[in-house]
Chains A and B, each alone.
Chain A
Amino acid sequence: MTLYLLLAVALLIIGLHGLFVCAQLMRKILALNVLTTAVFLLLVVLAQAAEVLDPVPHAMVLTGIVVTVSTTAVALGLMVRLLERRGGPVSGRDRDSRNS
């Protein structure tokens, strides 16, 4: 269990790092997905920790996955529109992420 908790923390840090440091738009979306996965992992671990297996966190994770799917879809759509407008490649970079 401690292992899973540590894993969740590691995923959290990876997600945050990716969001703030990676310049590519696509990577930012992926980083956010990693971040949500970390939270879901945490919820599942918490469900496991209870003496009787708690169904509520599972329901929460399921709902969360649905929410994440829709947000990811919107994010991808927005990214495509953004890149279309800029006329750059799909691996376009966020202008405010340059390390200058």
Chain B
Amino acid sequence: MNITLATALVAGLPLTAAAVAFAHPRVGRMAALGTGLLLLPVLAVLVLEALRTGPWRHNLGGWTAPLGIGWQVDALALTLLALTTLVALAAAVYRVAEGRLTRDSRYRRYFWPLWLFLWGGLNALFLSADLFNLYVILEMVSLAAVALIAAAGGPALAAAWRYFLATLLGSTLYLLGVALLYGQYGALDVSLLSGRAEEELVTLAAAVMITLGLLLKGAIFPLHFWLPPAHGRAHAAVSAVLSAVVVTAAFYLLLRLWFGPFAGMLPGLPAQLLGLLGAAAVLWGGVLALLQRHLKMVIAYSTVSQLGFALLVFPLAAADALPDQAHAGMLMLLLAHGLAKGSLFLAAGCLAWQWGSDHLRRIGPPMAGGSLPAWIAIALAAASLVGLPPSGGFVAKWWLLESALAARAWPWAAVIVLGTFITAGYLWRILRDPLRATSVDSAVVPAQGPPLPIPLAMPWAALLLALAAIASGLFATALRSAFAAGGLAG
């Protein structure tokens, strides 16, 4: 397949499918599933090309950088594209199967167009190298995400509202920074700016604005206020994509900029500050996950906590001892966390359907009424999040810890180690009550009748994602060399 065509299809296919699904609501499901299935071979072509030739740049319409808009394809972009495709496909399968359980609502016909719109926006975001183009895409992703959250109705409306204000504020601050950068350097392309940017007051101001905007969008502590309600109250399929990919997208931009145009300003205090925010997020989100009573809220706070680990890449990569290992670990963390988190949300959705609530005391035992696959998915995804070998989460923490130890950065090493305990604590709470329920003296569990039967595709979608999270660790060596071939550090 032509590489140019393949690159264009990655973003074009979902957007076209979105238009089709909007015009013909009946084919919405097929459009979503078909998009996912078609994107897999397209991505495979791109990955093979990257393995063969290394990272490359693609100028849209043949126009080069100062005037035209560029796309860049490298290990970071391809990994996140693959993550998006896997999670969105699994969540679409889940949602299609779930569709048989619900009655028609007024807004249902808009679900698939919005879904595909979000998907296309995310794909474009991971490809684009133009800061203003990225602003438009960010807004696109935000609008679709807000609408999808609001589609759950009820309390999700208020959550969607808060998310909307936060993300719009984030975009505006980002645009402000972009405007300052353009005023100073007359360029919008990331790689052009990387060559031109210097440590000047305007660049500093731009960096502050852009970073703050993206911290807001990425729900980094202490600006995480919008995430738990939004992710906890949306439909399970929506939560899966939001938690696995959408917040990661904001983080992705932080990486692109701080290891691109702002790289000269990173070492020293700024890197330490970002790392400190990460450490605080690990602790704060983890403890709050411990305090939640609803399964989906635990998972949502876990996202706040896990993204904190990824932020450690800034001090570790800036420390210059094993920067490649820090980058690889962070990338692995994003991948493994995305897969595991998607799986957890889908499995939580299954259990909530079966038992009528996702309250930790209400969801029933694994052996009752076909909820076993969902529980296996939760167990496997939890194993990856905690970092049990040979899962992807383990490999991610292993590489990050290697980098921290090599830099003799004991505080960051301690954060990785302590974060493991907190993660184990809140995931243990999820698994504890159902384990107790299977016991002989099952006095703890309130009787609530048999669980509802659900289509098998729902838990299996979760299970496949969890297995992918484990597999990403099993084949870590292959991934590591692929990361290296695809130009690891931005």
Rounded to whole Å, the gap between the CB of B473 and the closest CB of chain A is 40
Inter-chain contact A60/B132, CB cutoff 8 Å: yes
Which residues of B127-175 are within 8 A (CB) of A? 132, 135-136, 139, 142-143, 146-147, 150, 154, 157-158, 160-162, 164-165, 168-169, 172, 175
Inter-chain contact B182/A56, CB cutoff 8 Å: yes
Ranked nearest first, the 8 interchain pairs of A and B with the lowest CB-CB distance are A46-B183, A43-B179, A82-B157, A39-B176, A67-B139, A35-B172, A42-B179, A39-B175
Which residues of B170-228 are within 8 A (CB) of A? 172, 175-176, 179-180, 182-183, 186, 188
Q: A46-B179, A54-B186 are in contact. Are A78 and B169 (CB under 8 A)?
A: no
Inter-chain contact B157/A39, CB cutoff 8 Å: no
Inter-chain contact A96/B182, CB cutoff 8 Å: no
Inter-chain contact A70/B157, CB cutoff 8 Å: no
Inter-chain contact B179/A71, CB cutoff 8 Å: no
A42 to B184 Cα, complex, angstroms: 12
Q: Which residues of B contact A35 (CB under 8 A)?
A: 169, 172
- B interface residues, tally (CB under 8 Å): 28
Inter-chain contact A12/B161, CB cutoff 8 Å: no
Complex partner residue of B176 from A12, A25, A74, A96, CB under 8 angstroms: A12
Complex partner residue of B168 from A32, A56, A82, CB under 8 angstroms: A32
Inter-chain contact A57/B182, CB cutoff 8 Å: yes
Encoded as 1 (CB less than 8 Å from any B CB) or 0, chain A from 51 to 79 comes to 00010110010011001001100110011
Inter-chain contact B172/A36, CB cutoff 8 Å: yes
Query: Any chain B CB within 8 A of the CB of A85?
Result: yes
Q: A67-B139, A71-B139, A85-B154 are in contact. Are A32 and B165 (CB under 8 A)?
A: yes
From A38, A78, A95, residue with most partner B Cβ within 10 Å: A78
Q: Is the interface of A mostly helix, strand, loop or mixed?
A: helix
Q: A81-B150, A81-B157, A85-B157 are in contact. Are A39 and B164 (CB under 8 A)?
A: no
A46 to B181 Cα, complex, angstroms: 10
Q: A67-B139, A71-B168, A78-B146 are in contact. Are A39 and B161 (CB under 8 A)?
A: no
Inter-chain contact A78/B160, CB cutoff 8 Å: yes
Q: A46-B179, A81-B150 are in contact. Are A70 and B143 (CB under 8 A)?
A: yes
Encoded as 1 (CB less than 8 Å from any A CB) or 0, chain B from 59 to 83 comes to 0000000000000000000000000
Q: Which residues of B contact A75 (CB under 8 A)?
A: 164, 168
Rounded to whole Å, the gap between the CB of A36 and the closest CB of chain B is 6
Inter-chain contact B161/A74, CB cutoff 8 Å: no
Beyond A32-B168, A39-B172, A67-B139, list 19 extra A-B contacts (CB 8 Å).
A12-B176, A19-B165, A35-B169, A36-B175, A42-B179, A42-B183, A43-B182, A46-B183, A49-B183, A60-B179, A64-B135, A67-B135, A70-B139, A71-B143, A74-B143, A75-B164, A78-B164, A82-B157, A85-B157
